[in-house]
Amino acid sequence: MKAIYLLLLLPILATANNLPSFLSVDTDKEYIATIDTLRSLLPKNGDPEILIGLASPYSLLDIQPTKFTSLIDKNQFTNFNLGVMSQAIFKAKEQFVVGLPNRVLCQNSTCRKTRMTVINQFMEEQAKVGEFFNQNEDILIVQRTTDDVYRINNDFYTPSVIIQYQPSAIAGFVPSANWSEYKSTEELTSCNTCSVRSTAVRNIMAQYNVAAIVRETNMGLNVIFGGISNNHWGVMVIEQSADKPKVGQRNSLGFEYEDVIELTPKAYYYQTN
């Protein structure tokens, strides 16, 4: 993470004159409403260590601006969002937040070797994962925190409730302030069988500590093992050679590839920063 906007707490101090370039007055209003919603769901001034899990890739506090078109804006918003979440919900100290990327970034051969060991084991199951997404075209995102806390598309599952989010109108924020609450999968208005259908894949994710698997627009798969903000690491499984990741290039989230290693002609280890 090359910049964190800890001092730009716009949900608290927003005016038209100090908005960053990636937010307008209207999208800032959507963002403020989203944060108010998340505040209502979470305990006030909770342990900042919880932030690491809740802000992991595609988890509850990893807000995605799905209607942003600029990769640079997506990247900058992601940095900004972590800083805001750390202050608006957890009151975390600046030193704590600045140190979070060091918990997930790998800058030497020792940690890279450890990652490769896990990834190579996972790759033996990759065919099953790929087949699942090919057979379930309505499932785009599977995120796992625990066996009972997970996300499928825009539905967030817990043992007691399922929260289904609709993207905000302008920025497409997910989560957003537009949400519905359900007590069971049968009540869901869409994808009410997704939980059952994804069980086997979520079990594989649990076995190898995979944080999220996301279907890319080109039908490739982004298998994210871990990360926070724009610091991700995982495996990109591609369909066409033109889609292979390259150092210095940005992925669909706007995050820049810092490290890329070819595992097979269609699978690449990566780290973004």
CB 37 within 8 A of CB 181: no
Burial class (CB in 10 A: 0-12, 13-18, 19+), 147: exposed
Q: Of 126, 103, 273, nearest to 207 (Cα)? A: 126
Name, in order, each residue with C-beta under 8 angstroms of 156's C-beta and a sequence gap of 6 or more: 60, 150, 162, 163, 164, 165, 175
Q: How far is CA 218 from CA 134, 207, 214, in A?
A: 12, 27, 11
Give the DSSP letter of residue 156.
Answer: E
Query: What is the mean pLDDT of each successive set of 10 residues along the chain, which is 273 residues long?
Result: 42 60 96 96 86 96 98 97 91 90 94 97 97 97 98 98 98 98 93 96 98 92 98 95 92 97 96 96
pLDDT at 11 (0 to 100): 43
CB 188 within 8 A of CB 164: yes
pLDDT tens column, 105-146: 999 999 999 999 999 999 999 999 999 999 999 999 999 999
pLDDT at 109 (0 to 100): 93
Q: Of 103, 139, 121, nearest to 226 (Cα)? A: 103
pLDDT at 26 (0 to 100): 97
